[in-house]
Amino acid sequence: MNLREAFAIAMSSLRVNGLRSALTTLGIIIGVAAVIVLVGLGDGIKAGFNTQFGALGNQINVSQITGTVPGGGEAKDLKDSDVTALRNTSVAPDIASVTPVVSGSEMVTANQQQFRAAIQGSTADYLTVVDRDVVIGAMFTAEQARSNARVVLLGPNAVATLFGGDAGAALGTTVRIGRSNFQVIGVLKSNGQSDDAAVMPLGAARAYLVGGNDTINSMIVKATSTDTVQPALAEIYQVMDDRHNIRDPASRDYNATALQSLLEQADQFLTYLTLFTVAVAAISLIVGGIGVANIMLVSVTERTREIGIRKAIGARRSAIMKQFLIESTMLSGIGGVIGIVIGIVIVVIGMIVIPKVAPTFGAPDVSLPAVAVAFVVSLLIGLIAGGYPANRAARLRPIEALRYQ
């Protein structure tokens, strides 16, 4: 029996038992589709994460330690002079910019409603540095920052409480923050992390809300590129240690954290999470393989007399084994193809729907390697699952097979 005849016999057997074959392939279909969908979703999440936070890869946050430093004593304040020192390119050539930030918490009042906002006082480049956009309005100018203008950009949570979520209604109105009036010149776009913020000029925040003549709470340092983050971090340590009289690194009274390392850890976590979910989905492939093996054993039992007749007229063991291996492989292969089609359809639907309902999530993408691996695994499952039944059929003795009722 040649290969073409074996395929024809296998197809005939699958058609005769169509419902049984369909139910048998269901586990393979679900497993393959689940693997493709989960890999696509995982790639989408990673793409969305990189899009949302990738621009922060060269950012280093410097903040003061609150309370007692590890080596004992009180932590020195971060000051404007620290910002000036880090901006000196002769001692810190790998630092592109340094943005000071003062922060606090104040009650914002408007329309007889109140909201406690997280005050962020900074320079005119603050939104650019933290990679944040506005829904309506604009960031305050450098001139407004120099003149300590009482202007503010509100986060979406504040707008939702004070203006019912209407950004247009908020723009241009006057709100009371603490004991001072500020004009709303913009509404921040949601980033899911600091939506309670109220962003204003550094001088205005100091003069009217948080106090302090030259002290700051933190600095946002940008390295010249993602490749120079570590040299920039070393320069921060060198400059700040010298200014704060730090002799032992373990006794530093400030923290300098490179977001690049945090982003790499988060990306690695997302990769492991994707692999874990794919492994869980692959369990259904194993279940499907068990189903294929079970049905092939049933098929061998049902066709015992047929096997005996074929062996009696000269069919060799290899021909019998080939027939059943082809049948099991075709069974799982067809399930794999159907699963691939279903998985791709679901991913394509996700590519259309997810950006509309969850823009920051990241649209899933069809992973060709995942498709190829899922299909190859489905074929391997067919070979493995059909191996024992095929061998059992090939080892049947013609006399015993012909006597089988």
46 and 189 share one domain: no
Q: What is the pLDDT of residue 272?
A: 84
185 and 226 share one domain: yes
For the segment 199-211, the average pLDDT, to the nearest whole number, is 93
> Closest Cα to residue 218, out of 390, 363, 82, 32?
82
pLDDT band at 70 (very low <50, low <70, confident <90, very high): low
User: Which range has the worst mean pLDDT, 55-64, 92-101, 191-200?
Assistant: 55-64
When divided into structural domains, the chain yields a total of 2
pLDDT at residue 69 above 70? Answer: no
| Helix, coil or strand: residue 102 | strand
User: Which comes out higher in pLDDT, residue 96 or 262?
Assistant: 96
14 and 108 share one domain: no
Nearest-angstrom CA–CA distance, 19 and 8: 19
User: What is the signed CA dihedral for 247, 249, 252, 256, rounded to 10 degrees?
Assistant: 130
Domain boundary among 243, 274, 300: 243
The CA distances from residue 147 to 72, 150, 185, 204, 239, in Å, are 40, 9, 16, 8, 30
**Percent of the chain topping pLDDT 70:** 82
159 and 232 share one domain: yes
Domain boundary among 191, 210, 243: 243
* Residue 157 near residue 113 (C-beta atoms within 8 A): no
The vertex-119 CA angle with 116 and 123, nearest 5°, equals: 160
pLDDT at residue 14 above 70? Answer: no
User: Which comes out higher in pLDDT, residue 226 or 350?
Assistant: 350
Q: How many other CB atoms are found less than 10 A from the CB of residue 207? A: 16
195 and 305 share one domain: no
For the segment 140-165, the average pLDDT, to the nearest whole number, is 94
pLDDT band at 54 (very low <50, low <70, confident <90, very high): low
39 and 84 share one domain: no
33 and 94 share one domain: no
Q: What is the pLDDT of residue 344?
A: 92
Nearest-angstrom CA–CA distance, 95 and 232: 6
pLDDT band at 307 (very low <50, low <70, confident <90, very high): low
Q: CA neighbours within 13 Å on the CB side: how many for 42?
A: 22
Q: For residue 248, tell me if it sits in a domain.
A: no
Q: For residue 249, tell me if it sits in a domain.
A: no
Q: For residue 62, tell me if it sits in a domain.
A: no
pLDDT at residue 375 above 90? Answer: no
The CA distances from residue 138 to 58, 188, 328, 390, 399, in Å, are 25, 9, 65, 73, 90
Q: What is the pLDDT of residue 1?
A: 53
pLDDT band at 400 (very low <50, low <70, confident <90, very high): low
pLDDT band at 310 (very low <50, low <70, confident <90, very high): low
Nearest-angstrom CA–CA distance, 165 and 160: 4
SS percent in the chain: helix, strand, coil, step 5: 60, 20, 25
Buried b (16+ CB within 10 A) or exposed e, 245-259: ebeeeeebbbebebb
pLDDT band at 11 (very low <50, low <70, confident <90, very high): low
Burial class (CB in 10 A: 0-12, 13-18, 19+), 138: exposed
Residue 141 token pair:
């100018």
Q: For residue 259, tell me if it sits in a domain.
A: no
Burial class (CB in 10 A: 0-12, 13-18, 19+), 99: buried
104 and 234 share one domain: yes
pLDDT in tens, 239-280: 998 998 888 888 888 888 887 777 777 778 878 888 887 787
User: Which range has the worst mean pLDDT, 23-37, 62-76, 332-346?
Assistant: 62-76
Q: For residue 270, tell me if it sits in a domain.
A: yes
pLDDT at residue 312 above 70? Answer: no
Q: What is the pLDDT of residue 304?
A: 63
Give the domain extent around 108: 77-243
218 and 111 share one domain: yes
pLDDT at residue 402 above 60? Answer: no
136 and 169 share one domain: yes
User: Which comes out higher in pLDDT, residue 152 or 353?
Assistant: 152
Contact partners, residue 249, CB within 8 Å, separation at least 6:
237, 241
pLDDT band at 207 (very low <50, low <70, confident <90, very high): very high
Mean pLDDT of the chain: 83
pLDDT band at 118 (very low <50, low <70, confident <90, very high): very high
For the segment 335-360, the average pLDDT, to the nearest whole number, is 85
225 and 299 share one domain: no
Q: For residue 220, tell me if it sits in a domain.
A: yes
Domain boundary among 191, 214, 243: 243
User: Which comes out higher in pLDDT, residue 163 or 357?
Assistant: 163
User: Which range has the worst mean pLDDT, 9-23, 157-171, 177-191?
Assistant: 9-23
Helices and strands (DSSP H and E) totals, the chain: 14, 12
User: Which comes out higher in pLDDT, residue 292 or 13?
Assistant: 292
Backbone angles phi, psi at 148, to 5 degrees: 55, 40
**Identity at 248, one-letter amino acid code:** D
Helix (H) / strand (E) containing 355: helix 317-357
Which residue in this structure is represented by tokens 């933190």? 218
178 and 94 share one domain: yes
For the segment 188-192, the average pLDDT, to the nearest whole number, is 86
User: Which comes out higher in pLDDT, residue 190 or 12?
Assistant: 190
Q: For residue 22, tell me if it sits in a domain.
A: yes
Q: How many other CB atoms are found less than 10 A from the CB of residue 275? A: 13
Q: For residue 65, tell me if it sits in a domain.
A: no
Q: What is the pLDDT of residue 360?
A: 62
